[in-house]
Each structure stands twice: as structure tokens, then as C-alpha cells.
Chains A and B, each alone.
Chain A
Amino acid sequence: MIRHLPSALSSARLAAAPALALLIVRNHWTAALACFACIAASDLLDGPLARALHVASPRGARLDIAADLGVVLCGFGAFAILSVYPWWLLLVFGAMFAQFVITSRHARRPIYDPIGKYYGAVLFAVLGVTLAVRDGGLIIALTSAVLAFTVIAIASRMFRLLRAGRRDADPALPRHHLSGYS
């Protein structure tokens, strides 16, 4: 039973995403903040718990990513309904996720990408700060920061993908940096 706890946490996070959106759209800010705190806690716990219980699996990792994407899309979607964030930001996140999936599938082996690894965490932080602070100037700053980070994350991933491709083509090149896969 306890083996399923990490997956249950990720599934609960995915299920809580529409509830978070509803709370935001209906202006229940304290409840939305509490809901978000639970979501963030589950995101922090599921990975270490899966490793501690020795049940970490590619399927669990995929569920974790899907839950994170669900929270990000629901949270920012709700803010877009309220005109807090622009709608096109959702397209940026969708494109970023698609880019991550495509480059992961087409790479011959996992790509070490330290910047892309933190992309989801940055978006979670932006959601949390928006819920807690609620200021127009801050929203502009956060939107610009997210866009800048997106560009840097894409550039970093492309650079690492090209480097990995070159390494595959030339076995004489070193591979010792390949740790902490994403």
C-alpha cells in the first residue's frame, strides 16, 4: 500500500489543479493559497519519497511531470481568465513542454539539462508569489522573468542537445558531465 504513496501524491496534485483554478476564478484567495501550499508540498515530497521507498520509475516520473503541467496550466489559465496573466503565456508553457518531450524522445540518451530541470519549479514559485503578493508591477516583472527564463532554458537545452549529438558522433570526446539527467 505504502509503495503507491508517491503516485497517489502526484495523482492528488493533478486532481487538485482544477480545484485551484476554481478557487482563483471565484476569488477565494486564502483557500487558493492553502490549496497551492498542499500542491507544492506534494511536489516536494513525491520524488524523495519514491526514491526512499525504491519505487522510482519512468511511469512515476511521467505522472509527476503531467501533474506539474496540469497545475501550471490550470493556475495560469485561471489567472488569464481574470486578466492577471496574458493567455499567450499558456501557449509558451505548452510549447516549452512539447519541446522538452520532443527533444527527450529524439535524444539517443538522456540529456543533462540543469536549467530546464528548474523550469517547473520556477513556474510553481511564480504561481505562489502571485497568489501571495497580488501586485500589478510584480506581475509584469514575473511575466518578463518567466519569458527570459524560457528563452534561456530553450537555448540551454538546444546547446546541450547539440553537444550530446557531437559526443555521439565522436566517441573520443569526454562524457563525464553526464549526471543529474532530466
Chain B
Amino acid sequence: MRVKLRRLLQILGVVLAVLVIAGAATMYATNRTHDTPLLVVNQSGRATALVVYQPGLSAFQQEMTDAFLDGLVDVGWRVEVTTVGDRGPQYVAPYGLVVFGGPVYWSSPARPLRRYIAQVKGLHDMPTAIVLTGLGSVKGAKAEAEHLVRAAGGAIVASLALTIMRPNDEEAMRAGERNRVTAARLAREAGRQITPPAR
């Protein structure tokens, strides 16, 4: 009886320790912001777009942001890219387009991205695009990000939610295209749809 109780306490102790460590690590990893210097792509573009994204822990968000950015550059945008952080641009009115990107955690856009969208100034009637990435269900997160952008005054011109563990395009998958390749193609095509205003 005593041995059984000791064993049960041991198991409970291990479960509790694992839960506490996992909870703390998850909180830290999902709330961490990354301050990176502003990078300019296609210096000679007709108008300037600002891309602000949270990289996430896998390479997927970075790849999809890059693909969307490539699409913007294809149609002539000058693009300034940075990550969500304390030193990121807080006033976006001078830009011709703002793109928000970030991973989906717990069926919601990552918290630093939500915080950034809510506090950024100058979004009034600004053409705004959203590029979210997730593993499975991302519909709810997409709707939440769109709501946040509209609440901040932005005018949504493109909204993408790309996934790793759910087909991004059923037909392309049936035709044998890899899901990740499809996601990058869709992101690039979406970027190409947004043409910069004529000079």
C-alpha cells in the first residue's frame, strides 16, 4: 500500500514537473518578440510596402513571408521588411501597403502580432494584407486577424492562411504538388495580385 502510494506520488510529481516546464517554455516561446533591423528589398520599386512578421519557431512562416514578398517585388513594390518587436515601425501611414504575418498558436494569431496590430498607428484606410501560417485549422485565426486589422482601420486587400498539415489546394495536391510548394506558390501569387499605385 505504502509502496503504491509512493509510486503514485512519484508519477504525480513527474507529471506536475513536466506540465510546469512545458507551460513555461510554451509561454516564453510563443510570446517572444524578435527585433531585427529594417531590410529594404527592390530599392527602385514604384511604391513602398511594409512587411512586419513574427518568424515563429519553424521555417514555414519565413518561407511564406519571403514568397509573398517575392510576389510584391515581381509587380514593382519596394519592400521594407522587419519582424514584430519593440523597435519595429509604430507609424505606418507613409507606406502604400502594410503586410502582417505570423504563426497561428492555439487557433489564434501569435500574441505579439495581435498586440502589434492593435497598437500600430496610421492604419486608417491603409491597404493591408495578412499572411498567417499554421499546422491545421487556421480559419478562426484568419477571421480574428481580419477583425483586428479592420478594428485598427485597415482595408484588407489580401488575407492568406497557409497550413502544413492540411491541404492548401486539394486539386494541386491531387495533381502531385507538394503542400509546402503549393503554399509558397499561393503566397507568391497573392503578392502579385497587389499592384503598386502608378508614380
A residues sitting closer than 8 Å to B (CB atoms) are 27, 29, 82-84, 114-115, 133-142, 144-145, 147-149, 152, 177
Residue in B closest to A134 when the chains form the complex, CB atoms: B136
Residues of B within 8 A of A83 (CB): 58-60, 164
Total cross-chain contacts (CB, 8 A): 84
A140 in contact with B180 given A83-B58, A83-B60 (CB within 8 Å): no
User: What CA separation (Å) do A136 and B104 show in the bound complex?
Assistant: 6
Residues of A within 8 A of B180 (CB): 82
B residues sitting closer than 8 Å to A (CB atoms) are 3, 7, 10-11, 14, 17-19, 21-23, 25-26, 29-30, 56-60, 103-107, 134-137, 164-167, 173, 179-180
Residue in B closest to A144 when the chains form the complex, CB atoms: B25
Residue in B closest to A152 when the chains form the complex, CB atoms: B14
Residues of A within 8 A of B30 (CB): 137, 140
Sample 24 A-B pairs with CB under 8 A, ordered by A number: A27-B165, A27-B166, A27-B179, A29-B165, A29-B166, A82-B165, A83-B58, A83-B59, A84-B164, A114-B7, A115-B14, A135-B134, A136-B103, A137-B26, A140-B25, A140-B29, A141-B22, A145-B18, A145-B19, A147-B21, A148-B17, A148-B21, A152-B17, A177-B3
**In the complex, which of the residues A27, A29, A114, A144 contacts B22, with contact meaning CB atoms closer than 8 Å?**
A144
User: What CA separation (Å) do A140 and B173 show in the bound complex?
Assistant: 27
Instruction: Please tell me if the beta carbons of B165 and A152 are within 8 angstroms of each other in the complex.
Output: no
A135 in contact with B14 given A27-B167, A83-B59, A144-B21 (CB within 8 Å): no
Instruction: Please tell me if the beta carbons of B18 and A136 are within 8 angstroms of each other in the complex.
Output: no
Tell me if A's interface is mostly helix, strand, loop or mixed: helix
Residues of A within 8 A of B26 (CB): 137, 140-141, 144
Q: How far is the CB of A44 from chain B (nearest CB, A)?
A: 19
Instruction: Please tell me if the beta carbons of A137 and B105 are within 8 angstroms of each other in the complex.
Output: yes
Q: How far is the CB of B180 from chain A (nearest CB, A)?
A: 7
Instruction: Please tell me if the beta carbons of A139 and B135 are within 8 angstroms of each other in the complex.
Output: yes
**In the complex, which of the residues A115, A136, A152 contacts B56, with contact meaning CB atoms closer than 8 Å?**
A136
**In the complex, which of the residues A27, A29, A140, A148 contacts B18, with contact meaning CB atoms closer than 8 Å?**
A148
User: What CA separation (Å) do A177 and B10 show in the bound complex?
Assistant: 14
Instruction: Please tell me if the beta carbons of B23 and A141 are within 8 angstroms of each other in the complex.
Output: yes
Residues of A within 8 A of B104 (CB): 135-136
Q: How far is the CB of A158 from chain B (nearest CB, A)?
A: 15
Q: Which 10 A-B residue pairs are closest in the complex by CB-CB distance?
A: A134-B136, A137-B105, A144-B25, A145-B22, A148-B21, A137-B106, A144-B22, A83-B58, A141-B26, A134-B135
Q: How far is the CB of B39 from chain A (nearest CB, A)?
A: 23
Q: How far is the CB of B49 from chain A (nearest CB, A)?
A: 26
Q: How far is the CB of A112 from chain B (nearest CB, A)?
A: 10
Instruction: Please tell me if the beta carbons of B14 and A136 are within 8 angstroms of each other in the complex.
Output: no
Q: How far is the CB of A159 from chain B (nearest CB, A)?
A: 12
